[in-house]
Structures are given as C-alpha cells and as structure tokens.
Amino acid sequence: MRRSPRSNGRKRRRRARSSRLRLPPPSAPRCSVDMMRCMTGFRNFHIEGELAGLALGPVLRLLLPGESWSKVHRLIENRHVEINGNLCVDRGRRLNEGDVVKLWAEPRNAPPREDQLRIRYLDRDVVIVEKPAGVTSTRHSEERDWSARRRQLQPTLDEMLARVVGRRLRATSAGKARGRRAPPLRVRAVHRLDRETSGLMIFALSAEAEHRLTAMFRAHRVERRYWAVVRGVIGPQTIESYLVRDRGDGRRGSTDDPSKGRKAVTHIAVREVLGDYTWIECRLETGRTHQIRIHLSEAGHPLCGEKVYYRPRFGAAPPDQSGAVRHALHAFRLALDHPITGERLEFEMPLPDDMRRLIDRLRAAAR
C-alpha cells in the first residue's frame, strides 16, 4: 500500500527530531538485552537532559542503539520495562527528568485481571478485597488525566474494584433499582499497600464510611498484621522511630529529632528462622508510609527482594541471595469494627504462591 505524502512527512519529521538529539554521554548505562542476560538481569537508565519529555519508545531506541524499533516495542509490550518501579507497557508514556527506567532481561508478571480479584466482604458502605502483588492501590496524581486506553494498559486496584463491585451491586435488587444510568460507583481509598505488597485492603463505598474509616485508621483502631521474609536472623522486638520524607539521602527514613518526624511503631515476632533469613510477623501500631520496610532496613534486616530500602542507617545489610521476585511483604490480617453497623470484621489471607515458594526454598536450603 502506498503511503500518503502527509504520513511520509510525519515520519521524516520524527527521524529528523531523533537525529538532532544527542545520545547520552558515554558514562550513561547502555546495553543490549542479550548482554543483560549475562549480568544482573536488569539495567537502570536515569532520565535527564534532552531525554526528559520524550516518549518511552524513542528513549529506549536511543539508549539501545543495537536494537530495532520493533524489538524495542516488543520489550515494552511484553512487560520488560518499569518506570520508577512500576510496570509500563505504554510506549507513548512521557518521561520526566529524574525518572528511572528499568529494563529487565526477563518479562515481569502480568498485571492482575478483574476476574482474578477476590472480594471477601461487600455491603453498600465498605468492601474488603485481597490485593494481589503487582498492582497499585490507587492511581498516582500525575496519571489521573490519562485516557481510558492508557488506564486499561495499567489498571489500578480501585478502578478495577469499582467495575467489579458495580456489576455485583447492579445484579442485586437494590442495584437494579438504581437504573442502568446510575453514576459510576466511587471506590474511596482509606489506606494503601505498595504495588509489590499483597494482602487485605478495605475501601469505603459511601462518604460516611470514608469519614469514619479515616478516623479509625488515624486513631489506630484497625488491626493490621503482616508476614515478611527478611535478610539475616532477627529477634522479636519493637521498633520505634520518627519518620521523615528525606533522611538525608533522598529516601524516607528515621530522624533523631522527634520534632521533625512522625512517630512510627512496629512490633516484630519471629515465626521461623530460615538459615540466613527470617520469616517474621509485623504488627503495626501506627501506619506511616513504607513504615515496615524502613524499620526493617534501618535495623539491618531489609526485606528479601527489597529494591529501595536495602541499606541500614549504619553499616552494610546482609546480601540478598534469596531470589525473591518482589519485596516479601504480605498483609495477612485485617480486623476492625464496621464503621457504620459496628459489626466485628476479622479476615485473614493465606500466603500468596510466590512467598510460599520463597519460604519453602529457603527452608529447604537451610537444612
């Protein structure tokens, strides 16, 4: 088929723009996918200078000069690329200054589908769901203006849950009474789990439930317990510190000045020592951002598979040869009084398959 002059003109302009861009300096990480297979399994690319503002596809084409456009597109579509730790399959995603693009030799796990969500409790005010690893709890503010197509490429838990719960409610007599043109259901987040963390979450479905649940979390009236696998052998203890957004190295962490941080308390119990690793239970007394991950890392026992908080405040962390495919953290228990009815709600979720296999493997290696 013969291309139109307009199509050819757009193609020439794209090529001209790419040719005007300067490639990253020699010190920038550049590699082929085949070379990565012989190294660590991934490479990081830090976006800066003229690369900022460009789409993911053209940027990877510049950083991987030995690869064709079709190969670059396949890498993105087949889940080899993460941006700032989040899977990205959208080659048109614009990159910002300071973004970190991680290119994996092996594909990442596919995002969970709506039909894979397991709802444990549902009424007109709240829903409790088992969050799988690999999906963000809510959409980042920078992504809220995305088109419907881009949102479908990278779904979030609250968006999937709104569709699933909406269908269930419409299937009931109360839902049918609303009519087919009822406004889309709003799922209201009152707490969050990190993208790689699995476990139980509760969302509000009404404004009153959202208000009361927020107050309950603030007053520490919601019981949350986690299972984690950490590097090294750790004993039972309580970790208390004051957390700040930047501890001095660009990461969240603890400060020695209580007036500058927010109090965070984590209670740790040991379930099993697995050779050079430990399976532990963590109970949150407070619920600060990344609290468990920070406390364990600063204690010298970061999570297996941890990619951000892997250095203690002083000294070096034990090496991670666990082979964990993500940070090994699972919110297995959620207990609270129903915010509207007062009914006691208590739920537990078994270990997901990846963490169960990790523990079995470490247990076998320790024998």
Q: Which two tokens stand for residue 312?
A: 């203690």
Per the residue annotation, which of 90, 194, 320, 354 is the catalytic one?
194
The 3-state DSSP class for residue 264 equals strand
Nearest-5° Cα angle at 56, 50 to 61: 80
Beta-strand pair 126-131/253-255: unpaired
Encode 331-358: b = buried (16+ Cβ within 10 Å), e = exposed.
bbbbebebbbeeeebeeebebbebbeeb
Taking alpha carbons only, the member of 126, 150, 299 closest to residue 200 is 126
d(CA 99, CA 47): 5
Taking alpha carbons only, the member of 89, 108, 105 closest to residue 44 is 105
| Cα torsion angle, 130, 132, 137, 139, sign | negative
Taking alpha carbons only, the member of 312, 169, 147, 310 closest to residue 239 is 312
Beta-strand pair 223-231/237-244: unpaired
126 neighbors 202 (Cβ within 8 angstroms):
yes
d(CA 208, CA 226): 28
**135 Cβ neighbours under 8 A, 6+ residues apart:** 111, 112, 155, 156, 157, 160, 195
Whether 194 is catalytic:
yes
**315 Cβ neighbours under 8 A, 6+ residues apart:** 300
d(CA 60, CA 321): 29
Q: Which two tokens stand for residue 343?
A: 């009914």
Active-site positions read: 194
